[in-house]
Amino acid sequence: MAGVGKKLAADVLSDDSGDITKHEKLYERLYDLSDSPYEIFEFALEYLNIAVKTYTIFEDALSYITKERFEKLIAVALKIWRARVENNEPRPKYSDFAAQAVIERAAFQFPELLHEHLREIYELDDGHFYQFWRAFAYLPKEKIAPFKEALLSGETTLDEKKELARYLIGSRDIETIRFVYDYALKNGIESAGFLEWKMGEVGFAKKKAGVKRYCYDELYHITFPKNYSPEAPRVFLQQAHHPTWSLPATYESLKFGGVLEDGENPFCHIITFDKIPEGLNITGLKRLVLGSHLRECDCDTHFYQHDQEGNPRRIGDELEKEYLNYNYPIQPTELSLSLTPERWRFQDWAVSNSRENLFRIGGEPSWIQGPNILICPICGEKMDFLMQLDTGLPDLDPRINDGEVYFGSGGMYYAFWCDECKVSGYVMQCT
Ligand SMILES: [Zn+2]
């Protein structure tokens, strides 16, 4: 067994055949190692030391590396990055640079490991590393202080202040965010629109009573039964290939998919919570049924009010539509909810590259187009983010759309909740 990780790295890096079958075999060897964290680490370390460019196989391997070993990879990546800067070597563009891929993945999966390196990354970076601000997540107050001082300093340029405001919002520290919002607005550093956009990306919204969180801190991944989609639409082909697809169940046997009311434009059932999962701010209801007119997902936002039993009823008339999306109801099944490990709390739609499970309840949304926080049509307040569905669910007619439920051109579908009014709302985003 010893040495297989290193050998795999050498084989990956010497393969320039462009032969897809050969490439798939290399992938299989990587997945065979997923139970051997040491060998995966050896693969990644060898790869990082030899290669400048990153490939998806390297990025995939990073998902299997333990936190302790990730810390070592970060140190190596920073050393490589620093050497290139010191030697004035041309750096590959951001998305191609293996050392930066390590830092970028860490910014999502283990932001705390980057906290002591923020100053160094800031100095090495020449502005191409757009995910840098994500490394500020949960930055402790004593580490926030110097960045805050720099923001206030008269010696800091306007461009630097703009950056610092963005980084500090990334901390998710509500006092800091409220401070930055007021300060940046008062001093003409950023517009309210821009600041709200940035806050929206990390789960905060300007509500009637000021800046508040619009997301639940609790987060669950939807775990589908292994045999759910034997025809394997696009997303499900990747099921085995990322840890987020097979997390241990916290709640079992939830009804998912099917129809609430049949017809031309079926009222599709999404999910029923017979018990409200812990940590979601859904009060006064014993159960909640989520459903929507999936064929209208391309048209506009749509809202439903829920009765005492948690059942939804459409608010307003059917949407004006030029055409109905081809979506059929989601193939019914029973599934589990899995409490999400801290590592997978932040998932970015683009970075996940169709490999990660983005079917999530609670937590922060993985926006495609940037934040679009729905406003409750009854009370006019910004709603809370409740859940998201990715494209690729099997539907009830395999003949159309390859049997997949599509959101636009293959996007995501986001559900919101107003607990005051017991209203759910839906919006779709795609590229
Ligand atoms: Zn409301």
What are the tens digits of pLDDT across the range 206-261? 999 999 999 999 999 999 998 787 555 554 545 567 899 989 999 999 999 999 99
- Looking at 169, 198, 213, the residue that finishes a domain is 213
Per-residue model confidence (pLDDT) at position 177 = 98
DSSP label at 368?
Answer: S
- Looking at 213, 232, 253, the residue that finishes a domain is 213
- CA of 301 from ligand 1 middle (Å) equals 15
Q: Which residue has the higher pLDDT, 111 or 246?
A: 111
Do 80 and 115 reside in the same domain of the chain?
yes
Give the pair of three-digit tokens for residue 290: 């989520």
Q: In angstroms, rounded to a whole number, what is the distance separating the alpha carbons of residues 251 and 338?
A: 7
Do 205 and 109 reside in the same domain of the chain?
no
Given the structure tokens 């500090």, which residue do they identify? 168
- Taking residues 42-69, report their average pLDDT: 90
Do 205 and 241 reside in the same domain of the chain?
no
298 band by pLDDT with thresholds 50, 70 and 90: confident
Give the pair of three-digit tokens for residue 204: 């905060």
Do 226 and 304 reside in the same domain of the chain?
yes
Query: 97: Cβ–Cβ under 8 A, 6 or more apart, which residues?
Result: 52, 53, 54, 81, 91
- CA of 57 from ligand 1 middle (Å) equals 45
C-alpha angle 273-347-126 in degrees, rounded to nearest 5: 160
Count up the domains in the chain and report the number: 3
Asked whether the beta carbons of 349 and 289 are under 8 A apart, the reply is no
- CA of 30 from ligand 1 middle (Å) equals 49
How many Cβ atoms sit within 10 Å of the Cβ of residue 361? 27
Q: Is 418 helix (H, G, I), strand (E, B) or coil?
A: strand
- Taking residues 402-431, report their average pLDDT: 93
- CA of 316 from ligand 1 middle (Å) equals 15
- CA of 413 from ligand 1 middle (Å) equals 20
Do 20 and 119 reside in the same domain of the chain?
yes
34 band by pLDDT with thresholds 50, 70 and 90: confident
310 band by pLDDT with thresholds 50, 70 and 90: very high
Percent of the chain with pLDDT over 90: 67
- Taking residues 64-73, report their average pLDDT: 96
Do 254 and 148 reside in the same domain of the chain?
no
- CA of 193 from ligand 1 middle (Å) equals 23
- CA of 281 from ligand 1 middle (Å) equals 13
Nearest to 152 by CA among 175, 179, 133: 179
Could you list which residues have their CB under 5 Å from ion ligand 1? 376, 378-379, 418, 420-421
Q: In angstroms, rounded to a whole number, what is the distance separating the alpha carbons of residues 382 and 214?
A: 8
Give the pair of three-digit tokens for residue 280: 């979601």
154 band by pLDDT with thresholds 50, 70 and 90: very high
Query: 199: Cβ–Cβ under 8 A, 6 or more apart, which residues?
Result: 169, 177, 181, 205, 206, 211
- CA of 430 from ligand 1 middle (Å) equals 26
Q: Which domain holds residue 176?
A: 141-213
- CA of 305 from ligand 1 middle (Å) equals 10
- CA of 213 from ligand 1 middle (Å) equals 16
Do 208 and 236 reside in the same domain of the chain?
no
- CA of 376 from ligand 1 middle (Å) equals 5
Asked whether the beta carbons of 292 and 426 are under 8 A apart, the reply is yes
Do 331 and 414 reside in the same domain of the chain?
yes
Given the structure tokens 């459903």, which residue do they identify? 291
- Looking at 133, 160, 189, the residue that finishes a domain is 133
Do 197 and 265 reside in the same domain of the chain?
no
Per-residue model confidence (pLDDT) at position 322 = 63
| Dihedral angle, C-alpha 304, 307, 311, 315, nearest 10 ° | -20
- CA of 107 from ligand 1 middle (Å) equals 35
Give the pair of three-digit tokens for residue 430: 């795609």
343 band by pLDDT with thresholds 50, 70 and 90: very high
Per-residue model confidence (pLDDT) at position 56 = 82
Q: In angstroms, rounded to a whole number, what is the distance separating the alpha carbons of residues 153 and 156?
A: 6
- CA of 419 from ligand 1 middle (Å) equals 7
Asked whether the beta carbons of 405 and 332 are under 8 A apart, the reply is no
Asked whether the beta carbons of 308 and 377 are under 8 A apart, the reply is no
Q: Which residue has the higher pLDDT, 355 or 400?
A: 355
Do 73 and 168 reside in the same domain of the chain?
no
Task: Tally the residues of the chain.
Answer: 431
Do 203 and 282 reside in the same domain of the chain?
no
Q: Is 383 helix (H, G, I), strand (E, B) or coil?
A: coil
Per-residue model confidence (pLDDT) at position 84 = 87
- CA of 185 from ligand 1 middle (Å) equals 28
Mean model confidence pLDDT for the chain: 90
Do 110 and 152 reside in the same domain of the chain?
no
DSSP label at 310?
Answer: -
Would the pLDDT of 319 be above 80? no
Q: In angstroms, rounded to a whole number, what is the distance separating the alpha carbons of residues 386 and 301?
A: 15
How many Cβ atoms sit within 10 Å of the Cβ of residue 409? 9
Of the ranges 22-36, 249-263, 330-344, which one carries the lowest mean pLDDT score? 22-36
